Structures are given as C-alpha cells and as structure tokens.
Structure 1
Amino acid sequence: MKRAFDILISLILLILLSPVFIYLFFKIRSNLGTPVLFRQKRPGLGGKSFEMVKFRTMKDVVDIYGNALPDSERLTSFGSKLRSTSLDELPELWNVLKGDMSLVGPRPLLVEYLPLYNEKQTRRHEVRPGITGWAQINGRNAISWEEKFDLDVWYVDNKSFWLDFKILLLTVKKVLIKDGITADGHVTTEPFKGTKND
C-alpha cells in the first residue's frame, strides 16, 4: 500500500508541478549556471547506494587548491530561498517514482556516514529513505544527530500508512513556517562525526 501510494502521489505531483519545474530550471540556470540539478550518491534501503537528485542551490567555487569552499561561502541568497521553501527537494519525486525513495522515511544522508553509525542508528536503513520524515517534523536540522537518529528508528518501528499521512500534513505546515531549516552556526547542519561513547 505504501509503495502504491508513493507511485500515485509522486506521479501526480510531477505532472501538476511541471510548470514549477520548468520555471525553477530557468531561474537556477540564470542565477547559478549549469548543471541545474545536483546529483549525489546516497545510501537507501539496506544501505544500497542510489543517485539522489535535487535542484542545485550552491555555486561551484573552489580555493586555490581546487577544494570546494565552505557551504556558507557557496550558498547564495537565491539558493537559500530555495532551501527555505524546500523547493530544491522537488526533483526527489523522481527518486520516489523510481523506487529509490519514499515520500516518507528517514532522510538519505551521506555515504561516508555509514561506517559512523552504531547498531541502532544503522536500523534507519531498514526502510526506504524519504523526502520527509518523523525527524523532519520534529526539529529537522535544529536538533542533534543523535535525536534525529532516535526519531528515525522510532519511525522504523512504528511506520504505518496513517503515520505517513500525518507526517506529510505536518511537513506542509513546517515548510510554510520555515521551521528547523538550519542548525545554529551552520547554513544547514554540522557534519555527523559519529556518536560519542558508543
């Protein structure tokens, strides 16, 4: 039922929001250049990697050694607006339609975090990652990594169609009030470095 719901809703949204996709494509191209889409390997169900797509929000700016500058120096005001409205996440509907992701589930994080998880935290990969999730409506980037992972595992243990429906409705509210977009002192959130004393 969950997969059928994901396919139906993602397909409907991709069709209905196609004018928004076209508008954002040209806006991003004029503000940030190409490529318009940001692609990155992320761990999905069972920790298996897939290519997640998002709208690009940062400039390609590097230092004299060719290393990317910090996010705070690459994120433009235009990119910040995309993130604050979560419009940069829209292409992930394609990942949902393909089956890489679900509408609701733990957010897909970086592949390099995989070796840093403890046994409990690894359980977040027992379900497909989501565009939104229980952690996103309960603090998003404004809470600690440990709190996020606890919320992710709680979702894995309590997932249901009605819980997903509730999360989707609360996500709309969170996006409208722009709550929990960033962590203190960071343009998004600080990198995960592993759980201490575990």
Structure 2
Amino acid sequence: MYRRIIKRSMDFTLSLIAIIMLSPVLLVVSLLVRVKLGSPVLFKQKRPGLYEKIFMMYKFRTMTDERDENGKLLADSVRLTNFGRFLRSTSLDELPELFNILKGDMAIIGPRPLLVQYLPLYNEHQKCRHEVRPGLSGLAQISGRNAISWENKFKLDVEYVNNISFIGDWKIIYLTVKKVFRREGINSETAATIEPFKGTKKDRFNHEK
C-alpha cells in the first residue's frame, strides 16, 4: 500500500511544502546563476523515468558554454566554475527537481534518473531500477553518491526497489540531509562528476555484437 498509494501522496505533499518554503532560495539561486553563468538559468535534459518513460528533468545550470575553435564544448572540468562547484557540493543545483516531483515524474527517494543513452547498456538486473519513479536522492546517494562504482550504484538501486518502505524512505531522507551538510561524495576520483557508464565488460561485448 505504501509503494502504490502513500508514497506518491507523500512526495506530492512534501515537494509542494518544500517549494513554498524554499521559494526565496530558488529565487536567489536563479538570479545568481543568471548573473554568473548567463542564460538559460535551468539545465534541462531528457531522462528515463518510471518504466523507462522519458521526461524532462530540471536542474540549475552549473557550467558555462565555453567551446573550442571548432565549436565543440570544452571538457566538464573546464566549464565547471567555482560557483558551479558550490551549487553541486551543496546540492542547490538539484532544487528545481522539486517541480519534477510535484508533476509526478520523480519521487523524493528512488534511484537517480540517469542518461537516456545508457538504456541499451543495462543488463536485466540493472533495468529493475526503472520499476519505480527516479528520486531526488536514493540509497546509492547516501552510500557514496558519485564516489562509488557504477556496479555498486546499480546494486544499491535494485536493493532499494526490492525493499521500499516508509521507514526506509525517511531514513534515506535523514541521511541525505547529513550528506548534503557534509558535502560528501560529490565527485569521483577521476572526473569532475562521475565517469560515463559504458556497461560491464560482458554487457558491452553483447551490445556491440
């Protein structure tokens, strides 16, 4: 009953309250992004949601549009400014996703929505992460966020899907708040955020065949 009915009602109510209470923060961050990074203020990107249905996810922009002489965007590490790093480390860039939760595209807690191009790379076990709405935070985020491997991230995502509970969700919410204040797990050890997912070796071989 919690998974089918209560969870969505709770998400709607909490996201609406959060939007109202955080509206001054949303306004200030919007203005700062406009001044420091230019427009558009929001970063919009298609992501797979419940049952792999594609939706448009919203975040505050954290990178510039700097390009090389051929018009190609520079590396993330170059375009990610100090202000952008601050937004990411404090998770302020994630606040517009509250509107995705209000609309029903996302949940407060669930596997994070990843890139659409990753869909063909998942094995059957990893695909289970799309049996619930993607979340603003999740079990993988409180267990290391971008600092853990893709394999461990997916393992935790599926573990969450198989064990959804009211108490479990509130525990993740509490631990998420702690992680945000400590600014833990924002980056991987070798990239500005996290390395692109390329599938496991076996999955890549089968996909390329």
TM-score by length of 1: 0.99
How far apart are residue 63 of structure 1 and its match?
1.6
Matched, 1:126 2:131: yes
1:73-88 aligned at under 5 Å gives the runs: 73-88=78-93
1:1-198 aligned at under 5 Å gives the runs: 1-198=6-203
Distance 1:194 1:54 in 2: 26
| Cα offsets for 1:65-89 (capped at 9, x unmatched) | 2221110010000000000000000
- The residue aligned with 2:3 is none
Amino acid at match of 2:175: L
Distance 2:161 2:99 in 1: 23
Distance 2:129 2:69 in 1: 39
Distance 1:132 1:67 in 2: 32
SS in 2 for 1:19: helix
Distance 2:7 2:72 in 1: 41
| Cα offsets for 1:136-178 (capped at 9, x unmatched) | 0001111100000000000000011111100000000001111
Amino acid at match of 1:31: K
Amino acid at match of 2:137: T
Distance 1:47 1:139 in 2: 24
Identity of aligned residues (%): 63
Q: Which structure 2 segments of 5+ residues have no match?
A: 1-5, 204-209
Two-structure CA RMSD over aligned residues (Å)? 0.7
| Cα offsets for 1:22-69 (capped at 9, x unmatched) | 100111111000000000000000011000000000001112222211
Could you list the structure 1 runs, at least 4 aligned residues long, displaced by more than 3 angstroms after superposition: none
Distance 1:179 1:24 in 2: 21
Distance 1:120 1:61 in 2: 38
